[in-house]
Each structure stands twice: as structure tokens, then as C-alpha cells.
Amino acid sequence: ILNVEQSPQSLHVQEGDSTNFTCSFPSSNFYALHWYRWETAKSPEALFVMTLNGDEKKKGRISATLNTKEGYSYLYIKGSQPEDSATYLCASYAGNNRKLIWGLGTSLAVNP
């Protein structure tokens, strides 16, 4: 059974701070890593799908890197804004079970 872990569990930063958090996943039998952003009372929003070791993806001020050999991905937010406040979830695709295995998320609060 896969375990996907995210740290920290929660994070409070000031507006303008840059921040990052971690998603750890089993490196064996890796297929793909998905990042989502989930604002309260809204739908989870897909950010990135990553498959290749060393891959880096960027969307505005948010970027992510992937290390499939050691089983981790970092999500970076540059110059955090209050609208970045959300829970950031990662999920690793479990090929044997044909489904996403989700982490618990990192809850980010950006204070103005």
C-alpha cells in the first residue's frame, strides 16, 4: 500500500514571503505525481501533473519539482499573496490499483 505524506501540515506566512512544502511518495513503481490546490468552499483545482525525474513545472508564481529516485516533490510559491491561501494536495498514481493515492495536504494561510 502506498503512503503519500505531506509536510508541513499547516503553514502561516506573511504576504510577500516565498514558501515551499514537500510531498513524499514511494519511489518504486512510480507513474505520476499530481498537485492540486483546494480553496475552502471551492472545487479542488489541478495545478501540475509530473512524471519525469528532474522535471520542473511552473504556473505563474507557483512551481514544482520532482525527484522520482528519492520519492519527493517540492511545491514553491514565490511572493505569497492572500489569494494563495488554500490547502495544497499531492497525489501519486498507484499503477497496481489504477487510482490516485492522496496526501493529507498542506494548509497555507497568507496574512495580508
**Interface residue with other proteins, options 10, 79, 104, 111 (CB under 8 A):** 104
Angle, CA 88 vertex, CA 56 and CA 12 arms, to 5°: 110
Q: Which is nearer to other proteins, 50 or 110 (CB)?
A: 50
51 contacts other proteins (rule: CB under 8 A): yes
**Interface residue with other proteins, options 46, 54, 79, 109 (CB under 8 A):** 46
Question: How many Å apart are CA 47 and CA 64, to the nearest integer?
Answer: 9
According to DSSP, the residues that pair with 90 across neighbouring strands are 35
What are the grid coordinates assigned to 69, written together? Answer: 529516485
105 contacts other proteins (rule: CB under 8 A): yes
